[in-house]
Amino acid sequence: MDPQKRIEELTEQLNYHNYKYYVEDAPEISDFEFDALLRELEELEEKYPQYRSPVSPTVRVGGEAASQFEEVTHTVPMQSLQKAFSKEEILDFDRRVREVVPSPEYVVEHKIDGLSVSIEYENGVLVRGSTRGDGITGEDITENIKTIRTIPLRLKDAIPFLEVRGEVFMSEESFSRLNAELEETEQPLFANPRNAAAGSLRQLDPKIAAKRGLDIFVFNIQRVEGVEITDHIGGLRFLKEQGFKTILNDRVFKTIEDAYDQIMIIGEERGSLPFGIDGAVVKVNSFAARSALGSTAKFPRWAIAYKYPAERQSTVIRDIKIQVGRTGVLTPLAILDTVRIAGSNVSRATLHNIDYIHEKDIRINDTVIVEKAGDIIPAVVEVLKEERSGDEKVFEMPAVCPECGAEVVREEGEAAYRCTGISCPAQRLRNIIHFVSRPAMDIDGLGGSNVEKLVENGLIENASDLYYLDFEKAAELRGFGEKWASNLKAALERSKTNPLYRLVFGLGIRHIGEKAAKLLSAKYKTIDALMAADPEEMAEIRDIGGIMAESVAEFFRQEQNRSFIERLKAAGLNCVDDSEETALDNRFEGKTFVLTGTLQRYKRAEAAAIIESMGGKTSSSVSKKTSYVLAGAEAGSKLDKANSLGIPVISEDDFDEMIK
């Protein structure tokens, strides 16, 4: 048979069977037969690559890895939805709609808990897929989008142009399978299906994305040419005819009361769904009515998302373990009898801190109520003291870090206990990234991903190991090479002559920003003198004070930290301050920044270090005291709160201008 004709025939057959299996859940041939046809197509395409179709099902296994994602500007903004948490807020939404549209009709849909994407088709063929990003600018993830088998590569009709919006998600089954595979290979597990879907979709290597079992529900037409569609239900029917997977509910609700009843029905079934939802969405059905209602800068006035209360279940705490975070904070974790909440099995729950444990009088062997905050993070919210038998045990925080054995400290006025070890395995990535950052030792070529690769391959364990690095082995790592290794070696040599304050700042001592590092360097002149400094004397230095002085003294009391310094000295780093005076840059003094979303040019630790080096502070939560919110791609609730409080939101470009 003519190879071109056979390739076309196989492509058409396989795309048809792919749709029947993944979208309609009605396979017509066995997996064995499908795989045999696919193997035949792969062999033919390998022999005759000139006949390979752009919609060949072989793209489902993923192509070549990309070095980075290109930016995509959305012609139609991918807006977020205003949220409702009560029936009263749904009724208020209806009242606002009726002020413009006297007799609206509503549709109600599941709000899939995943990652929002745009998919574009030209003449019926998929040409681009992109992430939502900040709603205006996203990332080109076309090759990863093509690996999702429920996304048609070619539409039924050759429509001149179509752009749709959907939610990529991971089913509970795929999530469990993925985490089991990660656990077997001793890799970090994903916290929930949404994080797993987002992480998989943003893999630079589409072959990895292809193996993750991603799925999609398409729920909106962004733009269309050549077809006239007048309402949402008609749009969903059209999308289904073209080969998309949708949650098609043909019901149109004439009253908001009926729509709210449907919200409650969806809420009752959410625990039994094979995919995660984080609410239900009410939309005006008519496109003409939507046009009349319009949108704000942030969300459409014709839709609202109802968020369900967190689901709760009772279970028993069998033990309390300590988890050491990347910032050194020790977090108590309840080990539970497994219980199913909001569609997933829960066997662990955060206890936040020791104050929370004492406040609720939580003990080992207690029967407790657990909920998923936002249907994501399990937390113990109540103790059923009437269930106590007398076998319960009081828990106290450990005196030393369970990861590295360094002393654990709790500063006055803080709830958190922290590990003081610079070589603590739980903190090492963060510590190394801070050490090499621009305000600290300023070592080019060591971004977060490169540091992570060196650690994962056993070439370094802490920042001092960089000065003893086997550059030949480093050069052999994928993506590095001899030129990179040579440049890194030169950057490390340059860093040895840095001023002492950069080294002090690079140690990552709690409360010691660049300003304080300069003051300490100017006062004590050598690292040895600083290590031996009396904290009471140090506290008398202007702008240092007792808390900072004790933090420095505590840091240098730890043997692993002193050993770290000795290795740096032996490597030839400058440990003397011979400057006459130290100039300080305090432009952010009195300002508090909150960082949210994915930053493109900075790691969060780098941006935070720059802010602190200029006298500012960073916080993990937005409040009225926040001065600025630095927002990257896919910023979420923190951005929403900043907007509601009227706090200035800045981009990376704004930030660059501020730090020039």
Distance CA 363, CA 154 (A): 58
pLDDT score recorded for residue 377: 66
**Strands across the sheet with 628-631, in order?**
617-619, 592-596, 628-631, 649-650
Distance CA 396, CA 617 (A): 31
Tens digit of each residue's pLDDT (9 = 90 or more) over 67-91 = 678 889 999 999 989 999 899 999 9
Maximum alpha-carbon separation in the chain: 90
Residue 580: CA count within 13 A, CB half-sphere: 0
Angle between helices 428-436 and 604-613 (to 10 degrees): 50
Tens digit of each residue's pLDDT (9 = 90 or more) over 11-23 = 888 888 877 766 6
pLDDT score recorded for residue 64: 60
Tokens at 421, concatenated: 């070890």
CATH superfamily name and code, 312-387: Nucleic acid-binding proteins (2.40.50.140)
- Taking CA 66 as the corner, what is the angle to CA 487 and CA 115, rounded to the nearest 5 degrees? 120
pLDDT score recorded for residue 376: 55
Q: Which residues are catalytic?
A: 111
Distance CA 641, CA 214 (A): 31
Helix residue spans in 311-372 (DSSP H) = 354-360
Other beta carbons within 10 Å of 77: 16
pLDDT winner (highest mean) among 156-170, 366-380, 531-545: 156-170
Q: Which residue has the higher pLDDT, 324 or 603?
A: 324
pLDDT-derived band at 280 (thresholds 50, 70, 90) equals: very high
Beta bridge partners of 109: 281
Tokens at 89, concatenated: 């807020």
Give me the mean pLDDT over the 1-27 stretch: 77
DSSP character string of 237-278: HHHHHHT---------BSSHHHHHHHHHHHHHHGGG-SS-EE
Distance CA 650, CA 644 (A): 15
pLDDT of 37 above 70: yes
Give me the mean pLDDT over the 571-578 stretch: 92
Tokens at 338, concatenated: 């497994």
- Supply the Cα-derived Rg of the chain in whole angstroms: 28
Whose CA is closest to 98, among 254, 202, 241?
254
pLDDT of 560 above 70: yes
Q: Which residues contact 400 (CB under 8 A, 6 or more apart)?
A: 406, 407, 408
Instruction: For domain 3-61, give the CATH number.
Output: 1.10.287.610
Q: Is 315 helix (H, G, I), strand (E, B) or coil?
A: strand
Query: Distances from the Cα of 459 to the Cαs of 142, 172, 175, 452, 470, in angstroms?
Result: 34, 36, 31, 10, 7
pLDDT of 584 above 60: no
Distance CA 178, CA 175 (A): 5
Q: Which residues contact 558 (CB under 8 A, 6 or more apart)?
A: 406, 407, 420, 421, 422
Domain 71-306 CATH assignment equals 3.40.50.2000: no
Instruction: For domain 592-659, give the CATH number.
Output: 3.40.50.10190
Angle between helices 514-524 and 604-613 (to 10 degrees): 60
CB 232 within 8 A of CB 219: no
Give me the mean pLDDT over the 592-612 stretch: 80
Whose CA is closest to 639, among 626, 198, 616, 630?
630
Q: Which amino acid is at 531?
A: M
Residue 29, phi then psi, degrees to nearest 5: -130, 165
Tokens at 298, concatenated: 């942030």
pLDDT of 514 above 70: yes
Tokens 């050491």, residue located:
324
pLDDT of 244 above 60: yes
pLDDT score recorded for residue 581: 52
DSSP character string of 11-33: HHHHHHHHHHHHTSS--SS-HHH
pLDDT score recorded for residue 63: 60
Beta bridge partners of 335: 319, 348
Distance CA 328, CA 353 (A): 13
Q: Which amino acid is at 220?
A: N
Assign residue 83 a region (left: φ > 0; alpha: ψ between -120 and 50; beta: otherwise).
beta
Instruction: For domain 428-570, give the CATH number.
Output: 1.10.150.20
Residue 221, phi then psi, degrees to nearest 5: -95, 120
pLDDT-derived band at 24 (thresholds 50, 70, 90) equals: low
Among 176-190, 260-274, 405-419, the range scoring the smallest mean pLDDT is: 176-190
Tens digit of each residue's pLDDT (9 = 90 or more) over 106-159 = 999 999 988 999 999 999 999 999 999 888 888 899 999 999 989 999 999 999
Among 157-171, 250-264, 349-363, 586-600, the range scoring the smallest mean pLDDT is: 586-600
pLDDT of 500 above 80: yes
- Domain spans in the chain, listed from the N-terminal domain onward: 3-61, 71-306, 312-387, 428-570, 592-659
Parallel/antiparallel/unpaired status of strands 628-631 and 312-324: unpaired
Among 174-178, 445-449, 474-478, 504-508, the range scoring the smallest mean pLDDT is: 445-449
pLDDT of 424 above 90: no
Other beta carbons within 10 Å of 241: 11
Query: Distances from the Cα of 304 to the Cαs of 182, 533, 554, in angstroms?
Result: 37, 60, 52
CB 335 within 8 A of CB 348: yes
pLDDT score recorded for residue 104: 96
pLDDT score recorded for residue 526: 95
For residue 50, give the DSSP letter: G
pLDDT score recorded for residue 572: 95
Tokens at 82, concatenated: 């205003």
Distance CA 388, CA 390 (A): 6
pLDDT score recorded for residue 293: 95
Of the chain, the percentage scoring pLDDT greater than 90 comes to: 44
Query: Distances from the Cα of 8 to the Cαs of 22, 46, 273, 586, in angstroms?
Result: 21, 14, 38, 67
pLDDT-derived band at 375 (thresholds 50, 70, 90) equals: very low
Q: Is 431 helix (H, G, I), strand (E, B) or coil?
A: helix
Distance CA 380, CA 361 (A): 11
pLDDT-derived band at 229 (thresholds 50, 70, 90) equals: very high
- Residue-averaged pLDDT of the chain: 87
